[in-house]
């Protein structure tokens, strides 16, 4: 087995010297306050050994990484009926693009772009009695950590500036692909994106995607086929119009968020999370992508 601790420490110190760290997201005003020099990485292997470097215990906004978790909750609740309302094809477009939605009659390309995640949020709002509480409870369960919570300021900040998401939700509603009120669904969506977690907590949450649906507490949340599908979606759609690049450079299923986090998994081997707030032009963490490329190269461990 590779010496993960030495490897991730080497990665953290190599990236410390990189000057071009990307740009912190500013379209959600609360996120623009984050220090671009933060960097954390945490890896948990199949035996639940933990390896950490940098700011791996610091909380950050998980943003779109939450889409994998909401999809999981939804898939576990309603099963394959979800695919009647959202497709499973890569979009090749930025995460907030609306054009395909019109071409494809209100069926989002996949659940990991914004429009798809808004449909997933709608299904959760329809099927849960207290959607925000129950979703948070699910995340606390899979992470085995009751301290995880929403950041109301970030949710409010996005609500005030989330015009594209408001447009997407209205477009979905016009095609009959949103059952609940636009405002109610978006309130849930903005809250799920506002959840704050550390690299370590997220690596613990993503453990179940490398462990056939079973979380660290031994509880099965998804069956093997469902995990296969979610990992396939992460690989093909987890980085929007940079999914090809991530598969090419890193070679793992993963998901990014505009808070600068990236979570990735190697089935049966490890789950790993990086955090560096500076984003590249496609909205993915610039140093996070480089860190994971180095990880799979130095360990010679990628799914390919």
Q: Among all residues, whose Cβ is closest to ligand GLN?
A: 64
Cβ proximity to ligand GLN, 193 vs 208, nearer residue: 193
189 is annotated as contributing to ligand binding: yes
**String marking each residue 243-282 x if it binds ligand GLN according to CB under 6 A:** --------------xx------------------------
Supply the minimum distance, in Å, between the C-beta of residue 193 and ligand GLN: 4
Q: Is 189 a catalytic residue?
A: yes
Cβ proximity to ligand GLN, 9 vs 196, nearer residue: 196
Q: CA-to-CA distance for 97 and 119, rounded, in angstroms? A: 15
Taking the chain, what is the end-to-end CA distance rounded to the nearest angstrom?
Answer: 17
- Does residue number 91 form part of the binding site for ligand GLN (CB under 6 A)? no
Supply the minimum distance, in Å, between the C-beta of residue 147 and ligand GLN: 22
| Among residues 22, 40, 131, 283, the one that binds ligand GLN under rule CB under 6 A | 283
- Does residue number 8 form part of the binding site for ligand GLN (CB under 6 A)? no
147 is annotated as contributing to ligand binding: no
Q: CA-to-CA distance for 288 and 259, rounded, in angstroms? A: 11
Q: Is 258 a catalytic residue?
A: yes
Query: In Å, what is the CA distance from 256 to each residue of 41, 93, 273?
Result: 14, 15, 10
95 near 64, Cβ under 8 Å?
yes
Give the H/E segment covering residue 178.
Answer: none
Q: Is 174 a catalytic residue?
A: no
**Which residue is catalytic, options 91, 189, 198, 256?**
189
DSSP type of residue 284:
S
Residues contacting residue 148 through CB under 8 Å, at least 6 positions apart: 136, 139, 140, 195, 196, 197, 201
Q: CA-to-CA distance for 69 and 71, rounded, in angstroms? A: 5
- Does residue number 165 form part of the binding site for ligand GLN (CB under 6 A)? yes
Q: Is 150 a catalytic residue?
A: no
192 near 128, Cβ under 8 Å?
no
- Does residue number 116 form part of the binding site for ligand GLN (CB under 6 A)? no
240 is annotated as contributing to ligand binding: yes
| Burial class of residue 273 (count of CB atoms within 10 Å of its CB; 0-12, 13-18, 19+) | buried
- Does residue number 108 form part of the binding site for ligand GLN (CB under 6 A)? no
Which of the residues 24 through 83 are near ligand GLN (CB under 6 A)?
A: 63-64
Give the H/E segment covering residue 14.
Answer: helix 4-16
Instruction: Give binding residues for substrate as ranges.
Output: 64, 114, 158, 165, 189, 240, 258
Residue numbers annotated as active site: 64, 67, 189, 240, 258
Residues engaged in binding ligand GLN (CB under 6 A): 63-64, 95-96, 114, 158, 165, 193, 257-258, 283
């Amino acid at each position: 087995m590779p010496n993960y601790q030495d490897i991730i420490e080497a990665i953290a110190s190599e990236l410390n010297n990189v000057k071009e760290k990307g740009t912190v997201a500013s379209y959600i005003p609360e996120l623009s306050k984050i220090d671009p020099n933060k960097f954390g990485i945490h890896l948990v292997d199949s035996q639940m050994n933990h390896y950490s470097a940098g700011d791996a215990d610091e909380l950050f906004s998980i943003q779109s990484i939450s889409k994998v978790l909401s999809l999981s909750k939804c898939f576990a609740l309603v099963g394959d009926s979800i695919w009647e309302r959202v497709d499973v094809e890569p979009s090749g477009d930025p995460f907030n693009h609306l054009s395909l939605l019109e071409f494809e009659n209100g069926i989002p390309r996949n659940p990991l772009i914004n429009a798809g995640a808004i449909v997933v949020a709608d299904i959760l709002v329809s099927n849960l009695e207290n959607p925000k509480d129950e979703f948070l409870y699910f995340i606390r369960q899979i992470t085995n950590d009751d301290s995880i919570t929403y950041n109301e300021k970030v949710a409010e900040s996005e609500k005030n500036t989330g015009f594209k998401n408001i447009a997407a939700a209205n477009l979905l509603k016009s095609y009959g692909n949103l059952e609940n009120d636009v405002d109610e669904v978006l309130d849930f969506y903005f809250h799920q994106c506002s959840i704050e977690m550390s690299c370590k907590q997220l690596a613990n949450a993503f453990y179940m995607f490398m462990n056939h649906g079973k979380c660290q507490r031994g509880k099965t949340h998804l069956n093997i086929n469902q995990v296969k599908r979610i990992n396939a979606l992460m690989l093909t759609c987890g980085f929007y119009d940079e999914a090809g690049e991530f598969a090419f450079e890193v070679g793992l299923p993963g998901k990014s968020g505009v808070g600068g986090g990236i979570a990735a998994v190697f089935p049966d081997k490890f789950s790993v999370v990086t955090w560096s707030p500076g984003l590249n032009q496609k909205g993915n963490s610039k140093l996070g992508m480089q860190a994971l490329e180095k990880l799979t190269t130095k360990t010679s461990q990628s799914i390919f």
